[in-house]
Structure 1
């Protein structure tokens, strides 16, 4: 496939149509309040020192245009990954996300949290309002996921079986609490959690594959992994491809839309280029997420 950030619709639709899928489910897309997203984009605009390469935002468009783009691509369900970087922020983000989900029915209602005394309360409120997936960003938040202030949160999420997308790998830059150790401590206390490790856990791919093999509820999303952009920074070890195939029922399509520095189709090209076969692609791009979230195929 080829395409530009401004187009590529035919390439994306051709990908899933060739596989006989009803579309795509993308578990790692970002929608958040405009002033928060502006700060995120400013971070990526200055990300050159982190990556050694420019990081142009490929889909730097107004909110409705970004929604329309995903729909044109045939993304039937997507998320609104948002996250706080300080206390007293998560509850406000959750209110915004609930409103966004109410006006965007193909968005999987997303919520978030931060280690603070009222976290269990507002997480319970988000679940009561219909939150279907949570986002935790250990790197940006700078917190230990095993912080005792979060123990009640993890317990609630495990009890409800609600998936949590966790950026806990050390890419693109390590944090004090990134890497497999801190999140493994959470799983030791709450083994029933349904965790989705963002970005395949890059660059600690092997360690997070190990974690998935030890815990049946651990999944990994493909966000930015395997693309040329990321392979130059943190290459996925070819020796681990057989394990990636064996864990095919727990790998989920994620892209980081709109914050990617290349066309959406590039992420799909990278998955196809792994050579793991069409059945694996069908599972990753639709079936696994449909099973995890109970997402029905669209009519017609």
Structure 2
């Protein structure tokens, strides 16, 4: 048995043991091959936005990665491209549209960047049925409250289309990260459907508060509580009761394929919190299904 075959078998055993129909992972990445290679080169170099070596366990071609997710029983998963500069979002979105068309389990994912054309291509994508957007302010180096994004947030609020935002200051902060930029957006667009990546690490408390005070703000678990991530940002024990109480706003995320450990480790890390079967079922399946449903 190969390591990857073992990974798939162990993940399947895990969700079956918990009586789940499979897994719903809202934080998975698939990108156009040239872009994916460039992203992995950044990981390989332990670049300044990572701050440490970051080996990639699931470095496989797209088709093999899709089959890996299927073998693990990840019934629905995102693709989450993210634009790092002006002028690239349309290329990323065109590729992601094609990917969604050929992979029915995937959430049709897209991205945007603060540029004059953003409102037009976001409106077109919403009208066509895109299911989720992703923005990464640490990589893109922009503020969520950039005036060029005002009409985009208005469109997204009206449509209810979720957007996954990497806005926490982990793994390496810069002037664009932190809760204040999202707080300013939510003050103007309080019904915006937001999924805060990595539970907002390391500003866990501030992002937890935003989820508690805004009905449509959710948090994903991506990498949090794993041994690798805890070396960079440990979740404060004092906040665990609040996280347990907020089980209906927490979504499973993994960052597959660019993780340095078996997929199972994220699941076991959540199980070790001891929040109970209902919390695990909500996070690993029910909440994603409630937000996105069966999809296209």
User: Which band: TM-score by shorter chain?
Assistant: over 0.9
Q: Partner residue of 1:244?
A: 243
Structure 2 residues without counterparts, runs of 5 or longer: none
Secondary structure at 1:220's aligned position in 2? strand
Residues 4 and 265 (structure 1), Cα distance of their counterparts in 2 relative to 1, 3 Å cut = farther
- Partners of 1:232 and 1:157 in 2: CA distance: 35
Q: Please say if 1:192 is aligned against 2:191.
A: yes
Count of residues in correspondence between the two structures:
294
Per-residue CA distance 1:38-75 (angstroms, 9 max, x = gap): 11101111227666642111000111000000000000
Q: Partner residue of 1:29?
A: 28
Per-residue CA distance 1:242-280 (angstroms, 9 max, x = gap): 000111000000000000011101110100011111110
Q: Please say if 1:266 is aligned against 2:268.
A: no
Q: Partner residue of 1:77?
A: 76
- Partners of 1:7 and 1:31 in 2: CA distance: 23
Q: Please say if 1:203 is aligned against 2:198.
A: no
- Partners of 1:247 and 1:85 in 2: CA distance: 32
Structure 1 residues without counterparts, runs of 5 or longer: none
TM-score (norm. length: structure 2): 0.96
| 1:95-114 alignment runs, 5 A limit | 95-114=94-113
- Partners of 2:42 and 2:203 in 1: CA distance: 23
Secondary structure at 1:135's aligned position in 2? strand
Residues 142 and 50 (structure 1), Cα distance of their counterparts in 2 relative to 1, 3 Å cut = closer
Residues 90 and 189 (structure 1), Cα distance of their counterparts in 2 relative to 1, 3 Å cut = same
Q: Please say if 1:275 is aligned against 2:274.
A: yes
Retained in 2: the 8 A contact 1:48–1:55?
no
Per-residue CA distance 1:98-143 (angstroms, 9 max, x = gap): 1110011100000110000010100011112221000011111100
Q: Partner residue of 1:172?
A: 171
Retained in 2: the 8 A contact 1:142–1:177?
yes
Retained in 1: the 8 A contact 2:145–2:181?
yes
Secondary structure at 2:218's aligned position in 1? strand
- Partners of 2:122 and 2:49 in 1: CA distance: 32
Retained in 2: the 8 A contact 1:164–1:194?
yes
Secondary structure at 2:24's aligned position in 1? strand
Secondary structure at 2:6's aligned position in 1? coil
Retained in 2: the 8 A contact 1:23–1:76?
yes
Shift of 1:7: 3.1
Secondary structure at 1:67's aligned position in 2? helix
Shift of 1:9: 1.3
Residues 48 and 119 (structure 1), Cα distance of their counterparts in 2 relative to 1, 3 Å cut = closer
User: Which range is displaced more, 11-20 or 222-231?
Assistant: 11-20
TM-score (norm. length: structure 1): 0.95
Shift of 1:4: 4.5
- Partners of 1:180 and 1:232 in 2: CA distance: 22
- Partners of 1:72 and 1:159 in 2: CA distance: 37
Shift of 1:15: 1.2
Per-residue CA distance 1:163-185 (angstroms, 9 max, x = gap): 10000000011121100000110
